[in-house]
Structure 1
Amino acid sequence: MSSGHQTLWLALIIGNSRWHWGAFEGDRWLGSWHTTHLSEAQVQTLQRHHFAPATWPQIDPLVAPPPALINGAATWPDSPELWMASVVETPVAWLADYPALHRVTLAEVPLHNTYATLGVDRALALVGAGDRWGWPVLVIDCGTALTFTAGVDQRLIGGAILPGLRSQLRALHAHTDQLPALDLDLNQWPQRWATDTAGAIASGILHTQLAGIRDFIAAWRADWPSGTVVLTGGDGVAIYQAITKQTPGLDQWINLDPDLGFWGLRACQQQGLKSLKPL
């Protein structure tokens, strides 16, 4: 990578649980990294140093941009473009003074037939999936919320939302007197017929979530036999491994892609939308 190349730009998707960062050189993907929710002071530090790779250890020693970005970053460009979408409002103001910021809202995502309260993260993931995997496409985002978002020819068909795995576990603990809080280990999928309370909670939540996902996939395949399915989100890998193990042959219908939102931001950036101006 030519580190001073003017086409280097950054992508940021601020979610409910984490901040997701990505880097591109033009349309070439350099990689992603993730942080917990940052403070205003941390954001200001990053801005002062133009988000340069050497700055990230000051924020969190365990967080570093991908090697493709670091290895070519001897001379970092001044104020690389930052294309950002957020489902959380407070951090948006912290970035408002960055001179090369492009904030992407639902109105700027190249997706038709949307509705006012559709999350920009869902819209970006759908557009990214269509761009990367082709239309028609069903996106299953396994994160804080489990969402199903379907589209054809850059047009939203519709979808569904329910609590994600960890959200269900937290809710069950918070709203009952004696059910324990559980740490979720998706590397050890629980047996269906549990003989203790913790195991029963894990079995109920995990197996019924898999059943729900299979049901939506079956409905999608019935309506759109030529359509594809893409899993994404923080629990996407574990869900993909579990559901394809339980249902032989399903892996032929499901793709795993953790970076759909970034492909959606890339689609916006490539369009050079006239309505988007640096804030």
Structure 2
Amino acid sequence: MKSQQYSEHLESTWLALEIGNSRLHWALFNGESLECTWDTEYLPESVIQQLGTRGVGGAGSGEWGVRGDEEVGGDGGEFLSILSTLTHLPPTLQVGLRLHRRSLLQTKQAKDSSPSSSPTPSSPPTPLPLLLASVVPQQTALWQNYPNVRVITLDQIPLNNIYPTLGIDRALALWGAGVSWGFPILVIDAGTALTFTAADGEKNLLGGAILPGMGLQLASLGQKTGQLPRLEVGEIQSLPPRFALNTPEAMQSGVIYTLLAGIKDFVEEWWSLFPHGKVTIKGGDRNLLLNYLQKLYPAIASRLIIEPNLIFWGMQKIGVDVT
């Protein structure tokens, strides 16, 4: 019964949460439609508890400060009120939550106005369903008491040859890419770490590689040496000269050109194995690296699929399949 109820929830509005190594990555879905995404810092345990507790957030101000069980029959309005109190919510999210809340209100009003039905009684508010994937066990534990959570684990991802220590983020991104563009598929994640993860046409995990990403390489040079400066990725405006005549550009050159050469090598090897295999790229450095690839290796860049939300698409598919 619980599984059936969860499946019904996923036909309406629900949340996806990827807990990364340093931040929380969120997505708001309306059924199978991805409405918006946003990031936050880790939330205090007290706030997480409030997200699933009745009676919190009803004292807020403005349009969002209305108790869910008073306005929409407890169908999630209070949870939206709580969410709205968090900082840095993007405008698109506010619009999505407002539309969801309006839809709930209209549904309740329609039921109450039907001649054959009696007014909908108030009931405890139900937080939006939450699909969760995490690479940080301590953070996962904080969300276990959320009343409407489903934690995705490796054994729920229908890839063959998965090994026990494979990161759930890599597995979900690979599955999301495969079900979206077909197998075989190679996923490049240009984040804190630069990772390559591949699967063949039979959905067998082929494996991959992990190396420090651009920012991590630059940071390690600044932290682990005596005289090299600390550089940030955001300071890099354009491709540096390959043979640089100053220290900052020499550091940029070493990191950037070897990263690009590594990407080129992996992609070319992939296409030698699977000439029609797709390649997708995600991660915070994806646009910067794509820009560099377009300048140095335009033939490769033209075949890359840019999709930052691969993990969320993988979560969406898994969430439906496991219910």
TM over 0.5: yes
Q: Give the share of equivalent positions with the same residue, in percent.
A: 39
Which segment drifts farther, 249-258 or 222-231?
249-258
The match for 2:28 is: 23
Q: Spell out, residue by residue over 1:219-241, the C-alpha distance to the aligned partner (whole angstroms, 9 max, x if none).
A: 00101101010000111121112
| Equivalent of 2:85 in 32, 40, 58 | 58
Give the Cα separation in 2 of the matches to 1:160 and 1:85: 21
Asked if the contact 1:172–1:179 (Cα under 8 Å) also holds between the matched residues in 2, the reply is: yes
Give the Cα separation in 2 of the matches to 1:138 and 1:61: 33
Aligned partner of residue 160 in structure 1, secondary structure = strand
CA shift, 1:54, in A, is 4.4
Q: Which has the higher contact order (CA 8 A, sep 6+)?
A: 1
Relative to its length, the structure with more helix (as a share) is 2
Give the Cα separation in 1 of the matches to 2:199 and 2:187: 9
Summarize the Cα distance change of 1:93–1:65 in structure 2 as closer, same or farther, 3 Å threshold: farther
Aligned partner of residue 170 in structure 1, secondary structure = helix
Give the Cα separation in 2 of the matches to 1:269 and 1:100: 13
Aligned partner of residue 111 in structure 1, secondary structure = coil
Summarize the Cα distance change of 1:187–1:267 in structure 2 as closer, same or farther, 3 Å threshold: farther
Asked if the contact 2:79–2:127 (Cα under 8 Å) also holds between the matched residues in 1, the reply is: no
Which sections of structure 1, spanning at least 5 residues, go unmatched?
A: 274-279
Aligned partner of residue 218 in structure 1, secondary structure = helix
Which segment drifts farther, 89-98 or 221-230?
89-98
> How do 1:135-214 and structure 2 match up within 5 A?
135-152=183-200, 153-185=202-234, 186-214=236-264
Equivalent pairs, count: 270
Which segment drifts farther, 103-112 or 54-63?
54-63
Residue identity opposite 1:11 in structure 2: A
Give the Cα separation in 1 of the matches to 2:50 and 2:143: 11
Give the Cα separation in 2 of the matches to 1:238 and 1:9: 31
The match for 1:96 is: 144
Asked if the contact 1:33–1:64 (Cα under 8 Å) also holds between the matched residues in 2, the reply is: no
Residue identity opposite 2:224 in structure 1: H
User: What RMSD in Å do the two structures reach over aligned CA positions?
Assistant: 2.2
Asked if the contact 1:130–1:136 (Cα under 8 Å) also holds between the matched residues in 2, the reply is: yes
Which sections of structure 2, spanning at least 5 residues, go unmatched?
A: 1-8, 58-75, 105-124
CA shift, 1:24, in A, is 1.4
> How do 1:125-140 and structure 2 match up within 5 A?
125-140=173-188
Asked if the contact 2:10–2:31 (Cα under 8 Å) also holds between the matched residues in 1, the reply is: no
Aligned partner of residue 31 in structure 1, secondary structure = strand
Summarize the Cα distance change of 1:178–1:129 in structure 2 as closer, same or farther, 3 Å threshold: same
Q: Spell out, residue by residue over 1:183-221, the C-alpha distance to the aligned partner (whole angstroms, 9 max, x if none).
A: 212543322222211111111111111110011000001
Summarize the Cα distance change of 1:66–1:154 in structure 2 as closer, same or farther, 3 Å threshold: farther
